[in-house]
């Protein structure tokens, strides 16, 4: 690790020299690339330099131990320096972990009702509100893409686009089966029911070109959007359904009255779903040699239970139970996301150690 850190320190000095040259602004693409690389390297190098200073402090403190008059002070300084070195070593290991290229991307959040009928649809609505409140706390922007409401409230299916720094990195572990245990409002006997929803968090493709979609590989159907009727009923064929023939993925969008905008939105969702399928195929291949502790993100995999009578939320992948269901349902997800991220990083560190 020290060899790698030394290389990064030298590379940062080299980048600084290149950026200081008079002709640095002549090639703007190269300038941007160097600036991005510097932004990634600098935090690592700063921690490494702090670690080296702490190591020097430790050496000085241990020299004091030989002097009876300085022994107590030397012991205190030795303890402080070792503590700093341990903390900085952990930081450096974390910073050197391979970065997920999708972490900074915006996301498409898809929630679908599963087993449990109307109660499942109501829970889908509760999950949507939870994520929207979390997005609000993060100061992210939310755009509703597609909604399929149920008769009693909630959603059979709902898709939202969330725009914000690190959206995928914070929510990527939310993909999977979410189970709720509670007494439904429609339950006269007061019995606890178990229902489920599936959540999919898809990184948004930078561009449609980021995922190759050949015109010959898709079928586009247009139809009249369904609605409540009355004066707002859609009299034109503005709704769009796109079928990706090689994968069988179907995307429908009817929220906008413009066929063009619905088609544009549907293509973006299709690109994200194709990208997600490619990612999951790659992850499945990697998992054949090393099973992820966080889970595969399989939509059928039960990842979390929300038990309202007991006021608890349990994440089954990391055996974490929190007795703060009201705060979590109101979007306080920081403790959950931090624990999942920490477990994932621990797994990556273990894999590096085995390599």
- The dihedral formed by the CA atoms of 336, 341, 343 and 348, expressed in degrees to the nearest 10: 170
CB of 257 closer than 8 Å to CB of 266: no
| Entry field: residues in the chain | 355
Tell me the per-residue pLDDT of 69-81, one tens digit each, with 9 for 90 and over.
888 998 999 999 9
Enumerate domains of the chain plus CATH numbers. Answer: 2-95 (no CATH), 107-289+297-347 (3.30.70.1660)
Predicted confidence at residue 210, as pLDDT, reads: 61
Whole-number Cα distances in Å, 81 to 71, 88, 210: 15, 10, 48
Task: Take residue 174 and report the two structure tokens written for it.
Answer: 């939310």
pLDDT confidence tier of residue 232, bands split at 50, 70 and 90:
very low
Tell me the per-residue pLDDT of 310-347, one tens digit each, with 9 for 90 and over.
999 999 999 999 999 999 999 999 999 999 998 888 88
Name residue 112's beta-bridge partners: 157, 198
Which residues are CB-contacts of 79 (< 8 A; sequence separation ≥ 6)? none
Check residue 311 and give left, alpha or beta (phi > 0: left; psi -120 to 50: alpha): left
Q: Report strand pairing: 155-163 vs 176-182.
A: unpaired
Tell me the per-residue pLDDT of 1-48, one tens digit each, with 9 for 90 and over.
778 888 889 999 999 999 999 888 888 888 888 988 888 889 889 999
Tell me the per-residue pLDDT of 40-73, one tens digit each, with 9 for 90 and over.
889 889 999 999 999 999 999 999 998 888 889 9
Name residue 154's beta-bridge partners: none
What average pLDDT score do residues 98-107 get?
Answer: 84
Sheet of 218-223, strands arranged across: 218-223, 239-244, 249-253
Q: Name the least confident of 88-102, 127-141, 294-308, 313-327.
A: 294-308
């Amino acid at each position: 690790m020290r060899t790698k850190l030394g290389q990064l320190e030298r590379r940062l000095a080299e980048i600084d020299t290149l950026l200081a040259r008079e002709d640095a602004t002549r090639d703007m693409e190269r300038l941007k690339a160097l600036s991005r690389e510097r932004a990634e390297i600098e935090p690592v190098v700063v921690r490494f330099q702090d670690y080296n200073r702490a190591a020097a402090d430790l050496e000085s403190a241990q020299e004091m131990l030989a002097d009876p008059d300085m022994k107590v002070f030397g012991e205190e300084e030795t303890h402080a320096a070792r503590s700093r070195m341990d903390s900085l070593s952990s930081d450096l290991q974390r910073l050197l972990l391979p970065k997920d290229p999708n972490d900074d991307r915006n996301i498409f959040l898809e929630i679908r009702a599963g087993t449990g009928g109307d109660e499942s649809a109501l829970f889908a609505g509760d999950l949507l509100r939870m994520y929207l409140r979390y997005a609000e706390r993060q100061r992210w922007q939310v755009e509703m893409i597609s909604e399929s409401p149920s008769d009693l409230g909630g959603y059979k299916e709902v898709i939202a686009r969330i725009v914000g720094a690190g959206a995928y990195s914070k929510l990527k572990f939310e993909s999977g089966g979410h189970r709720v245990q509670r007494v439904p409002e429609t339950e006269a006997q007061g019995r606890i029911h178990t229902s489920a929803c599936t959540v999919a968090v898809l990184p948004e493709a930078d561009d449609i070109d980021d995922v190759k979609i050949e015109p010959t590989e898709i079928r586009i159907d247009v139809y009249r959007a369904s609605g409540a009727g009355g004066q707002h009923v859609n009299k034109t064929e503005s709704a769009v359904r796109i079928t990706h023939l090689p994968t069988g993925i179907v995307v429908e969008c009817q929220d906008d009255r413009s066929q063009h905008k619905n088609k544009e939105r549907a293509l973006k969702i299709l690109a994200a779903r194709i990208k997600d399928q490619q990612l999951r195929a790659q992850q499945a291949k990697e998992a054949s040699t090393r099973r992820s502790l966080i889970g595969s993100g399989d939509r059928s995999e039960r990842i979390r239970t929300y038990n309202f009578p007991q006021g608890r939320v349990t994440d089954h992948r990391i055996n974490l139970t929190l007795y703060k269901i009201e705060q979590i349902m109101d979007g306080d997800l920081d403790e959950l996301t931090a624990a999942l991220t920490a477990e994932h990083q621990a797994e990556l560190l273990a894999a590096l150690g085995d390599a």
